[in-house]
Amino acid sequence: MGQKNTALVVGATGVVGRNLLRHLLSQEHWDVVSVSRRTPDVAGAYRHLSIDLLDLDDCKAKLEPEQGITHVFFSAYIEKEDWAATVAPNVAMLVNLMDAIEPSNPGLRHVNLMHGTKWYGNHLGPFKTPASEDDPRHMPPNFYYDQQDFITARQKGKAWTWSAARPHAICGFATGNPMNLVMVLAVYATISKALGLPLRHPGSRDNAKALFQVTDTAHLAKAVLWMSTSDQAANQPFNITNGDIFRWETMWPTFADYFGMDLAEPQRINLPLMMADKADLWSRLVNEHGLQPIPFESLVGWNYGSFVFTPEFDVISSMTKARQFGFHDVIDSTSMFLRQFDQLRTERVIPTL
Ligand SMILES: NC(=O)c1ccc[n+]([C@@H]2O[C@H](COP(=O)([O-])OP(=O)(O)OC[C@H]3O[C@@H](n4cnc5c(N)ncnc54)[C@H](OP(=O)(O)O)[C@@H]3O)[C@@H](O)[C@H]2O)c1
Question: Pocket of ligand 1, candidates 15, 16, 122: which has the most ligand atoms within 8 Å of its Cβ, to mutate?
Answer: 16
CA 77 to centroid of ligand 1, rounded, Å: 3
Residues 264-285 pLDDT 10s: 999 999 999 999 999 999 999 9
CB of 178 closer than 6 angstroms to any ligand 1 atom: yes
Q: Could you tell me if 207 and 220 lie in one domain?
A: no
CA 82 – CA 225 distance, rounded (Å): 31
Average pLDDT, integer, range 282-302: 96
Residues 199-209 pLDDT 10s: 999 999 999 99
Q: What pLDDT score does 310 carry?
A: 97
The domain total for the chain is: 2
Q: Which residue has the higher pLDDT, 353 or 42?
A: 42
In a domain? residue 351: no
CA 173 to centroid of ligand 1, rounded, Å: 14
Read off the DSSP letter of residue 242. -
Q: What pLDDT score does 219 carry?
A: 98
Residue 1 above 80 pLDDT?
Answer: no
Q: Could you tell me if 194 and 340 lie in one domain?
A: yes
Q: Could you tell me if 148 and 194 lie in one domain?
A: no
CA 169 to centroid of ligand 1, rounded, Å: 13
Average pLDDT, integer, range 212-236: 98
Q: Could you tell me if 42 and 156 lie in one domain?
A: yes
Average pLDDT, integer, range 254-260: 98
Residue with the smallest CA separation from ligand 1 atom 9 is: 115
Q: What pLDDT score does 33 carry?
A: 98
Whole domain around residue 316: which residue ranges? Answer: 170-213+245-346
Q: What pLDDT score does 353 carry?
A: 85
What length does the chain have?
Answer: 353
Residue 3 above 90 pLDDT?
Answer: no
How many CA atoms does the CB half-sphere of 152 hold within 13 Å?
Answer: 10
Query: Which residues does residue 112 pair with via DSSP β-bridges, in sequence order?
Result: 73, 163
Q: Could you tell me if 277 and 235 lie in one domain?
A: no
Q: Could you tell me if 121 and 201 lie in one domain?
A: no
Residue 175 above 90 pLDDT?
Answer: no
Q: Could you tell me if 148 and 261 lie in one domain?
A: no
Is residue 277 within 8 Å of 250, Cβ to Cβ?
A: no
Q: Could you tell me if 164 and 182 lie in one domain?
A: no
Q: What pLDDT score does 266 carry?
A: 98
Q: Could you tell me if 222 and 146 lie in one domain?
A: yes
Question: Pocket of ligand 1, candidates 119, 123, 144, 179: which has the most ligand atoms within 8 Å of its Cβ, to mutate?
Answer: 179
Q: Could you tell me if 231 and 286 lie in one domain?
A: no
Read off the DSSP letter of residue 253. H
SS3 251: helix
Q: Which residue has the higher pLDDT, 173 or 42?
A: 42
In a domain? residue 353: no
Average pLDDT, integer, range 232-254: 98
Residue with the smallest CA separation from ligand 1 atom 46 is: 115
Contacts of 208 by beta carbon, 8 Å cutoff, 6+ apart: 201, 247, 248, 249, 252, 266
Is residue 25 within 8 Å of 12, Cβ to Cβ?
A: no
SS3 235: coil
Contacts of 220 by beta carbon, 8 Å cutoff, 6+ apart: 16, 19, 20, 165, 167, 170, 172, 240
Residues 157-172 pLDDT 10s: 999 999 999 999 999 9
Q: What pLDDT score does 2 carry?
A: 62
In a domain? residue 288: yes
Domain boundary among 224, 239, 254: 239
Is residue 268 within 8 Å of 306, Cβ to Cβ?
A: no
Question: Kindly report the CA angle at 203 between 274 and 271, in degrees rounded to 5?
Answer: 20
Q: What pLDDT score does 74 carry?
A: 99
Query: Which alpha helices (H) appear in 162-315, and where do they start and end?
Result: 181-194, 205-209, 217-229, 248-259, 271-275, 279-289, 296-299, 302-309
Q: What is the DSSP string of 180-206?
A: -HHHHHHHHHHHHHHTTPPB--SS-HH
SS3 114: strand
Q: Considering only CA atoms, give the Rg of the chain.
A: 20
Nearest Cα residue to 75 out of 24, 109, 29: 24
- Residue 45's pLDDT band (cuts 50, 70, 90): very high
**Over the chain, what is the mean pLDDT?**
97
Number of C-beta neighbours around residue 206 at 10 A: 12
Number of C-beta neighbours around residue 242 at 10 A: 24
Beta strands 170-171; 215-216: pairing state: parallel
Beta strands 71-74; 246-247: pairing state: unpaired
CB of 6 closer than 6 angstroms to any ligand 1 atom: no
CA 219 – CA 24 distance, rounded (Å): 12
CB of 54 closer than 6 angstroms to any ligand 1 atom: yes
- Looking up residue 332, the CATH number of its domain turns out to be 3.40.50.720
- Residue 86's pLDDT band (cuts 50, 70, 90): very high
Distance from chain centroid for Cα 30 = 22
Q: What is the DSSP string of 303-328?
A: HHHHHHHS--S---B--HHHHHHT--
- Residue 131's pLDDT band (cuts 50, 70, 90): very high
Residue with the smallest CA separation from ligand 1 atom 21 is: 14
Average pLDDT, integer, range 306-311: 97
CB of 76 closer than 6 angstroms to any ligand 1 atom: yes
Q: Could you tell me if 222 and 259 lie in one domain?
A: no
Q: Could you tell me if 84 and 230 lie in one domain?
A: yes
